[in-house]
Structure 1
Amino acid sequence: MKAFLIALAAAAAFQPIPAAAAKQAADLLIRHAVVIDVEGARPIPDQAVAIKGDRIVAVGGDAAVAKAWTAPRRIEAKGRYLIPGLWDMHVHFGGGPALAEENKALLPLYVAYGVTTVRDASGDLPNEVLHWRREIADGTLFGPTLLSSGPKIEGIKPVWKGTLETGSEADVDAAVDKLAGLGVDFVKITDSTLKPDLFLYAVRRVRAAGLRASGHIPMALTVGQAVDAGISSIEHLSYAYKAGVKDEAAIAADVAAGRITRAEAQARLDAGFDEATAMAAYRTLRDRQVFVTPTLNIERTLAFLDSDDHSKDPFLAYVGPGLRKTYQWRIDRAAKATPEQIEARHREYRQTAAVLPMLAKAGVTIMAGTDAGFLNSFDYPALGLHQELALYVENGLTPAQALSAATRAGPAWFGKLDRYGSVEAGKQADLVLLDRNPLEDIHATRSVDTVVLRGIAHDRAALDRLLAEARAKVARWDAGAVQ
C-alpha cells in the first residue's frame, strides 16, 4: 500500500500545472482612463477599455481588463478623460456643385475636433452628401458618420435650392416615396413657400412612412400644431421661444389670413413671451418626445457681427474660398443695420437664449447642433460644436447637460442609444480622449488628445496632420483663386 501511495505521488508530481486562462484578443486597449459616465454625470477613475473591430468589447477596472485582454496597440491614457464621440445634429453642406470639393474637405475637420457623427440637415448638395455617406460607411472616404435628410421638402419655387418642390398632397406623397427610396435617415421640411396645410400633411406622411420629421415651422402655424402632426425635432431655439408666446395661436391665424405681415407677427412674438405658457408647452414637448436643437452659435454670431467681424479667426484657414464667399450676404446685411436694429438683434438673442434652461427644467431633450455650413457666416464646422456647448453652459445648463446634448441626445433621437452614447461594452468604438474633465469645465471638450473613430485610434499627431492637410488644401485653392 505504501509503495502504491509513493507511486501515485510521483505521478502527480509530473502532471502539468494548469496555465492561467488565456487572454482574449482585442485590437486596441486604452488603459488608466477616467471614463465619463455621461448619463450619471460622474467620472469613473482608472478604467481600461478593450476594442475589437468597431465595437467596445470590455470596460472595467484597469487591472481586471488588462488581465483578461491583450491587444497589439495600447493607449496609455495617464488619467485623461474618455467620453463618447461627439455628435453635431445640425450641419449643412452646400453652395452649389462647384463647391462640392470644398464641402467634402470639411469632413476630416470634424474628426480632428472629436466630432464622430454629424446630421446633415439638407443643403443644395443632397446627392453628393448621400454619396459621401455611402463612401464613409464603405470605408473609402475618411470622415465622421454621416446621417442625412437628403433633399428637403419645400413648396413651389422655394428660396432654398436642392429641394423637392411640392404644391399638393400628391406631390408630398411622391416626395416622401422618393426620400424613402433614397434611404434617408430622416426628413427635413422647410417653409419658405410650402403651404401651412401641406407642411402638416408632410409631417404626418413622413411619420406614416416610418421616418422622423424635422424642420422650420411656418409662422401661420403654431408649434403645437406641428407637434400634433408628429414633428420629431424642432430646429432652432426661436421656435421653442415662439411656443411660449401667450397669443401664438392668434398671431398665426392673423398671418394665415393675411391680416399682418411677417415683420408685424415677429414683433408681437418678441413682446408676447409668457413663462407659464412656455413651461406648459415645453412639458408637452417632453411628453411627446420632441427634441430641440438650439443652434445658438449661429444666432449669437450673427447677432454680434457689429462687435466681432471674425476677419482674424484662425479657423478661416480651414474654409475654402468659395465657402467663405457665401458668408458675404449675411455680412453685408448686418453692415447695413441701424443702431436700433443692432440693439434689437442683441435683445432677441438674449431673449431666445433665456428659454434654454426652461426647456431643461421641463425635461425636454436638447440636441447639440450648430447650423454650421455654407451661408452661415463664421459658424464653423467642427469647432462650432465646442462653441455651441460653451454657450449652453453660459446660458444656464450644467456642463453635464451640455455634454449629454452632444453625446446622448443624437443617438436617442435616432433610436440608437443601444449602440452609441456611452463608454460601455457592446457600444460603437467612437470615443474621444480629453486632457481635462468636461464635467468640471465644458471647454475641456476642446482638449482632444486622441479620437477613436469606428475602432481606429487617431492620436494628437495624426489629428494635427489632418489639420495641416486641410490648411494646405485651402492655401492651394486660395492661390488658384488669386491667379
Structure 2
Amino acid sequence: MKCLAAALASSLLALAAPALAAPQQGDVVIRHVNLVDVEAAKTQADQAVVLRGADIVAVGADAAIARDWRAAKVVEGKDLYLIPGLWDMHVHFGGGPELIEENKALLPLYVANGITTIRDCSGDLPDQVLGWRSEIASGSLFGPRLLTSGAKIEGIAPVWKGTIEVGSEADVDAALTRLQQHDKVDFVKITDSTLKPDLFLYALRQAKARGIRTSGHIPMALTTRQAVDAGISSIEHLDYAYHAGARDEAAVAADFAAGRIDRAEASRRLDAAFDPATAMAAYRHFAEKGVFVTPTLNGSRILAFLDRDDHSKDEGLAYIGPKLRKTYDWRIERAAKASPEAVAARHAHIDAMARILPMLQQAGVTIIAGTDAGFLNSFNYPAFALHDEIALFVEKGLTPAQALASATRAGPAWFGQLDRYGAIRPGMAADLVLLQRNPLEDIAATKAIDTVVMRGKTYDRAALDAMLADTRAQVAAWNAEDGASE
C-alpha cells in the first residue's frame, strides 16, 4: 500500500513539474549581448536581458534566460554592447514663444542619439517645458524623460528672460514655494546676472532646508567655497570649479564686490593665480560636501574658437530651425568684436581649464555630462553634442569608463535615482542603448547606435533614422518658409 501511494505521488509530481517549470513571459528579450557594467568598468559576454513594460525583469547568461523566459519580441545582440540610457544633464529650451515648435522638434533628436533622460536647466519657456514634462510622462508627447528646474531664480531686471526675480529674502521664500509646491520642479536653478550675493547664498540654504537640489552660476563677488558651504548641489560650467583653484579667490571676490575691478580683470586674476595644491584641496571639499560638477566643456570650447572654426557646413545645422539658428548670432557677433588679445586669452583659458577634469576625478568629485545645448549657444547641437562632450572628457584625461559613467550614472546619482537608473539589472528602468562597439575601449562607440530602448519600447536603426529624417524634413520646410518670407 505504501509503495502504491509513493508511486502515485511520484507520478503526480512528474505531471506537475512541466507546469511548475513553464517559462516566464516578458515583452522583449535582448539575447547574446555583451553587457556593459559601467560601475565596474567591465563587460560580460553572451548575456540576455528581459523587459516587461518599462522595467528590466531578468538579466543573466543567455542560455539560462532562453530556458526560463519567453518574449513576444527578440532583439539579437550578438557582437553588440548594451549600456544604460544616456543622460544629458544640461540642456536649454528657449528663444521666445515664436520658437516653441522649433524647440519641440529637438526632442526626438535626443532619443535618436541614445539619450533617454535630459535635465532642462531653464530657458525662457519654463511653463512650456513643464507642460512637455507632463506630456512625455503620460505618453502624449514623444521625447526623452524630461527633468526641469522650471523658471530660474534671479535678481531684479536680469539679463536672462524666463526668471523669477527676487530682491529680498521674502521674495526668495515665495519663489521656492512656487517652484516646489505649484510647479513641482525637479530641482532649482539659481543664476548670477543681477542676484545679490547674499540672496544667492540665502536661496541655496533655504532650498537645502526644503530638500530641493540646486544648480547654478556662482556670483563673482562670492568664493566657490561659500556656495559649496551654503549647499549648492551642482556647479554648472567648469569655469566656477576652476576659480576655486585660485590662491587669492577670496581677495578677487572682495575686490569685485567692492567695485575695484570688473569681471574681465577678476577672471584674469583668477586664471593667473591658479594653483594645483589649492585646487585639489578645494575639490576634496566639493567631494566631502557631495557637490557635483557639470563641465559643459565642449560648449565652452566651441564658443572660444568661433573666430577660427568654420561651422557653415556642420551636419548639425540640418536639425536646427531658422529662428533657433538666428539666436546664435548674439554670441557670434560678440566673439567677432573681441580684440586679438581677448581671442588668444579665451583659447588659452579652455586648455588651462580642461586640465582640472582629471583633478576633479582624482579628488572624488562626480563629473556630470551635460552639453549646455540649445538656443543662443552657437553650433552646440542638441543631442549630438553629448557624444562630443564625453569624447572631449577622454581627450582631456578621463578614461572611457569614467566618461561613460558621467553620461549614464552621474545624472541618476545626482537625483538620488541610482536604484532605478544607471545600471542593467532586474528592477531597473528599461532605458538602454545597444551599441555596435565597446565604449569602454573607445568612447566614440556611443555614436554607433544599433537600437535604443526607452521605457521598454525598442527603436531599431531604421526607426532612429526615421526620427532624424523627420526632423530634417521639418527644418527644411521651415527654411523654405523663412526664405519665402524674406
TM-score range, shorter chain: over 0.9
Give deviations 1:316-375, integer Å, cap 9, x for gaps.
101100100000111112222333222111101001111111101111000000000000
TM-score when normalising by structure 1:
0.97
Counterpart CA distance in 2 for 1:329 and 1:61 is: 54
* Identity score, percent: 68
Q: CA deviation at 1:391?
A: 0.3
Does residue 300 of the first structure (1) align with residue 294 of the second (2)?
no
- Partner SS, residue 100 of structure 2: helix
Does residue 85 of the first structure (1) align with residue 85 of the second (2)?
yes
- Partner SS, residue 50 of structure 1: strand
Letter in 2 for 1:171: D
Letter in 1 for 2:454: L
Aligned twin of 1:322: 323
- What is the 5 A alignment of 1:29-428? 29-181=29-181, 182-428=183-429
Counterpart CA distance in 1 for 2:474 and 2:76 is: 33
- Partner SS, residue 415 of structure 1: coil
In 2 relative to 1, CA 22–198 (structure 1 residues): closer, same or farther, beyond 3 Å?
same
In 2 relative to 1, CA 22–227 (structure 1 residues): closer, same or farther, beyond 3 Å?
same
C-alpha RMSD over aligned residues: 1.7
Give deviations 1:198-243, integer Å, cap 9, x for gaps.
0000111111121001100000000000011100000000000000
- Partner SS, residue 18 of structure 2: coil
In 2 relative to 1, CA 263–22 (structure 1 residues): closer, same or farther, beyond 3 Å?
same
Aligned twin of 2:18: 19
Counterpart CA distance in 1 for 2:361 and 2:5 is: 77
Counterpart CA distance in 2 for 1:9 and 1:282 is: 72
Counterpart CA distance in 1 for 2:3 and 2:412 is: 67
Letter in 2 for 1:481: D
Counterpart CA distance in 2 for 1:15 and 1:344 is: 81
Letter in 1 for 2:151: P
Counterpart CA distance in 2 for 1:330 and 1:156 is: 23
Give deviations 1:289-336, integer Å, cap 9, x for gaps.
000000011111111122212110011101100100000111112222
Q: CA deviation at 1:8?
A: 9.6
Q: CA deviation at 1:7?
A: 12
In 2 relative to 1, CA 15–176 (structure 1 residues): closer, same or farther, beyond 3 Å?
closer
Letter in 2 for 1:90: H
Letter in 2 for 1:418: D
Q: CA deviation at 1:6?
A: 10
In 2 relative to 1, CA 65–481 (structure 1 residues): closer, same or farther, beyond 3 Å?
same
Counterpart CA distance in 1 for 2:209 and 2:104 is: 33
Letter in 2 for 1:415: G
Letter in 2 for 1:46: D
- Partner SS, residue 90 of structure 1: strand
Counterpart CA distance in 2 for 1:10 and 1:359 is: 70
Greater mean deviation of Cα atoms: 14-23 or 265-274:
14-23
Give deviations 1:182-201, integer Å, cap 9, x for gaps.
10000000010000000000
Letter in 1 for 2:192: D
Counterpart CA distance in 1 for 2:7 and 2:120 is: 73
Letter in 2 for 1:407: T
In 2 relative to 1, CA 331–5 (structure 1 residues): closer, same or farther, beyond 3 Å?
closer
Greater mean deviation of Cα atoms: 331-340 or 141-150:
331-340
Aligned twin of 2:463: 462
Counterpart CA distance in 1 for 2:418 and 2:8 is: 59
Counterpart CA distance in 2 for 1:66 and 1:207 is: 48
Counterpart CA distance in 2 for 1:201 and 1:15 is: 70
- Partner SS, residue 72 of structure 1: strand
In 2 relative to 1, CA 70–244 (structure 1 residues): closer, same or farther, beyond 3 Å?
same
In 2 relative to 1, CA 359–10 (structure 1 residues): closer, same or farther, beyond 3 Å?
closer
Counterpart CA distance in 2 for 1:85 and 1:343 is: 38
Structure 1: give runs of 5+ residues left out of the alignment. Answer: none
Letter in 2 for 1:54: A
Structure 2: give runs of 5+ residues left out of the alignment. Answer: none
Counterpart CA distance in 1 for 2:10 and 2:418 is: 54
Give deviations 1:98-123, integer Å, cap 9, x for gaps.
00110011000000000000000000
Counterpart CA distance in 1 for 2:298 and 2:284 is: 25
Letter in 1 for 2:67: K
- Partner SS, residue 27 of structure 1: strand
Counterpart CA distance in 2 for 1:65 and 1:154 is: 53
TM-score when normalising by structure 2:
0.96
Q: CA deviation at 1:262?
A: 1.4
Q: CA deviation at 1:270?
A: 1.3
Counterpart CA distance in 1 for 2:63 and 2:85 is: 25
Q: CA deviation at 1:79?
A: 2.2
